[in-house]
Chains A and B, each alone.
Chain A
Amino acid sequence: MSGFQKLLDIDRRWIFLAIAIAVVVPFFKPLGLPVVVTEPVRNLYEAVDELQPNSQPLLLASDYAPSTSPELEPMSLAILRHCMSRDVNVAVMTLHPAGFGLAQRAIGQVAAEYEAVYGEDYVFLGFQPGVSAPILGLGVAITNIFPEDAYGTPLSDIPMMEGIRNYDDIPLVITLAGWSAAEAWVYYAYQPYGQRVGAGVTAVMATDYYPYLDTGQLVGLLGGMRGAAEYEVLVEREGKGVLGMDSQSVIHLFIIVLIILGNVAYFMTRKSRRLAAQGKE
């Protein structure tokens, strides 16, 4: 058996092991590769940066579940830090049932860091099922969709929500979603109401969302862990996004090498396989 054939027949568990090592090593020996900020991320950062302190809130839709939190939670933390460092009010909600606890954890963590006061600097509206109905409903009246916050306090009793009726009083919505909810915000908030929408999505979904940037339907876009890392660089507070980028780069290089090796081995053994097939006939 040739060396190329051995390469093609390699037990895939060796590749799993190599990938595990390639992920772990950069955690202990960081390479410090630069994270270059791309235009869609910078646009979203600038849209948040334009928000007025202690005024109309940013609506952050934490529409993600634990399965996508490694990519989306760093985005959530970075955006919340950006807002709270500038005293921009934030209203957090979720359209995903599993997003309830994650949103609560993220906002609780960042609020503690900046000593933000619940009801004055931020509010957690909780979870609403459905997608199109709640997003459209928020354009009519927020209290129709969230009469109370997540802890049972009527919105009318929350100082931060005073005078905040619908999208007219929300300068920006950011959705962080690992499913089609991000698209739904474009359909049902931007299209009928002209609401400014930004999105953070998983890397798998990112290519589907670039068309919405060109048309202005999204003000900015964070794609996967890379997008989170870029936002962390902009807010000058490195978190899990930047921490994971070295591993990400090493793995990408490793996969490129595997693809090249696999193709070379395939073409080099093609002739012998063809001859073997003819011999069988």
Chain B
Amino acid sequence: MSATLIWTTIGAILTLCVYSFLYKDNPFYKFAEHLVVGVSAGYYLVIYYFNFVQPRVVNPVFLLRYGGDPIQFAGFEWWMALIPGILGLMLYARFFPKIAWVGRWPLGIYVGGYAGLGLSPVMQARVFQQMEANALPLTSITNVLLIVGLIGTLTYFFFSMKHRGILGGLARIGIVFIMVGFGASFGYTVMSRISLLIGRVNFLLVDWLHLL
């Protein structure tokens, strides 16, 4: 029996254990569920350590080579590995109530840094460029539908005035477009979930049993 067949068989048995939940909750399902959690935690730990912590923090701090030129003690790259490394360790202070406050410093830097990095590109991508794309000439039915849908939907989310008269009419049109959007999302969601089932059936029939 080859190693591939052994591992595929284990995968197949675990798949069946998980799907047994559809009949009712049972110990086989619980076993598979706990196994996934445990294995995932171990896998993530190893991947993060060997792909990031070791090459990016441990190796530079202890002057071991990573990629290009050797790291110089107290050089720019050495500090750039040491300081974030210490900040990362400070996050674990939250496990010790007396010094839990220490963990807020790196968290503040982390949140601030990411907010700063994201502000301009996200506004550009999600707001300005979308507004630009909706400044369309009303020369085709598609463009008219798009503009009507946009105005209607925005009106529906305008809560400073009562939805009566023209405002109410536009809001009702907005609801129609929102519902169409929800319908499309639901359809795609069904497709996605069924794809996962098809993937597993494919695995059981093709990869495991070789029936096709």
A187 to B122, CA, bound (A): 6
Question: B157 at interface (Cβ–Cβ under 8 A)?
Answer: no
B199 cross-chain contacts in A, Cβ below 8 A: 69-71, 240, 244
How many B residues, CB 8 Å from partner?
A: 46
**Interface flag for A10 (CB, 8 Å):** no
Interface string of B121-142 (1 = CB under 8 A from A): 1101100011011000000000
Q: Is B161 an interface residue (CB 8 A)?
A: no
Q: Would you call A159 an interface residue if the criterion is a C-beta within 8 Å of the partner chain's C-beta atoms?
A: no
In the complex, the chain A residue whose C-beta lies closest to that of B65 is A154
Given A132-B117, A155-B67, A156-B68, verify A71-B201 contact (CB < 8 Å): no
Chain A residue at smallest Cβ distance from B200:
A70
* Contact between chains at B22 and A224 (CB < 8 Å): no
Give B190's nearest chain A residue, CB to CB.
A255
Known: A98-B43, A217-B125, A224-B188. A126 touches B202 (CB 8 A): no
Question: How many residues on the A side are at the interface (Cβ–Cβ under 8 A)?
Answer: 60
Known: A98-B43, A128-B52. A248 touches B68 (CB 8 A): no
- The DSSP consensus for interface residues of chain B is helix
Which B residues lie at the A interface, using CB under 8 A?
22-23, 40, 43-44, 47-48, 51-52, 55, 66-68, 114, 117-118, 120-122, 124-125, 129-130, 132-133, 181, 184-185, 188-192, 194-202, 205-206, 211-212
Please tell me if the beta carbons of A70 and B52 are within 8 angstroms of each other in the complex: no
With a cutoff of 8 Å between Cβ atoms, the chain B residues found around residue A20 in the complex are 197, 201
Given contacts A71-B199, A146-B67, A187-B118, 15 further A-B contacts (CB under 8 A): A27-B205, A69-B199, A97-B48, A136-B117, A143-B67, A150-B51, A156-B68, A187-B121, A191-B121, A192-B121, A203-B188, A217-B125, A224-B191, A225-B195, A226-B191
CB-CB under 8 A from A203, the residues of chain B are: 188-189, 191-192, 195
- In the complex the two chains form, is A70's CB within 8 Å of B196's CB? yes
Residues 240-258 of A contacting B (Cβ, < 8 Å)? 240, 243-244, 247-248, 251-252, 255
Chain B residues contacting A214 (CB-CB under 8 Å) are: 133
Inter-chain CA distance A71–B194, complex, in Å, is 10
